[in-house]
């Protein structure tokens, strides 16, 4: 009985994750109107595996101008907070030397939600490590505090929407990085 209940719960959660993935923005490939360089962009999506975690978002962008870098957009989907830094604990390995790529935190109000976003730049290899991590913890630092969320197939129930966004993004980036 208990096993069948767990299977039902896991199936329900997987179905919810698939539905949420279908309703979230997907990776797009665009040509920069200014210089004709290619850009691959994944808008920010939920990066938390549990409702008890901070409701972080994570988006990513690669551009032909900087082929060895990934620009990540880290945010709070439901709160105004100044974002100072970001770090990742990927299966026990800490990645914390991530440079800011925007001067300030961008605060937005949509009429329903308040949100905060800040861009950072990380190396392509470090990003791939995050994308391939089984249990990834993301620490978003503020002025005097930080919050943590987790994603990856082994984190929580593996339902963070960002889990489904890494493969399509990297599938678009890899061939463009190999161009002469």
- What total number of domains does the chain contain? 1
Weakest mean pLDDT among 32-36, 52-56, 66-70, 93-97: 52-56
- 3-state SS class at 119: strand
Whole-number pLDDT of residue 7: 44
pLDDT for residue 157? 77
pTM: 0.84
Query: What distance in Å separates the CA atoms of residue 170 and residue 131, rounded to the nearest whole number?
Result: 9
Beta bridge partners, 42, equal 60
Task: Show Cβ contacts of residue 63 under 8 Å, excluding neighbours closer than 6 positions.
Answer: 32, 37, 38, 39, 40, 71
Contact call for residues 54 and 93 (beta carbons, < 8 A): no
- Domain that includes residue 25, residue range: 2-177
Q: 137 and 152 in contact (C-beta within 8 Å)?
A: no
The whole-number pLDDT of residue 119 equals 98
Q: What is the pLDDT of residue 23?
A: 64
Range of lowest pLDDT (17-31, 67-81, 116-130, 132-146): 17-31
The overall average pLDDT reported for the chain is 88
DSSP three-state, residue 66 = coil
């Amino acid at each position: 009985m208990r096993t069948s209940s767990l299977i039902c719960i896991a199936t329900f959660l997987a179905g919810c994750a698939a539905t949420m993935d279908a309703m979230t923005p997907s990776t797009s490939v665009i040509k920069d109107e200014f210089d004709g360089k290619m850009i691959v962009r994944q808008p920010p999506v939920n990066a938390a595996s549990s409702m008890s975690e901070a409701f972080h978002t994570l988006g990513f962008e690669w551009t032909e101008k900087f082929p060895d870098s990934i620009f990540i957009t880290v945010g709070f989907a439901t709160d105004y907070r100044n974002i100072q830094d970001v770090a990742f604990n990927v299966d026990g390995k800490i990645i914390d030397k991530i440079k800011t790529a925007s001067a300030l935190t961008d605060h937005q109000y949509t009429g329903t939600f308040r949100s905060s976003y800040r861009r950072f730049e990380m190396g392509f290899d470090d990003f791939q490590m995050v994308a391939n991590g089984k249990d990834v913890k993301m620490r978003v630092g503020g002025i005097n505090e930080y919050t943590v969320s987790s994603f990856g197939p082994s984190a929580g129930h593996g339902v963070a929407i960002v889990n489904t966004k890494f493969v399509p993004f990297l599938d678009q980036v890899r061939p463009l990085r190999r161009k002469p």
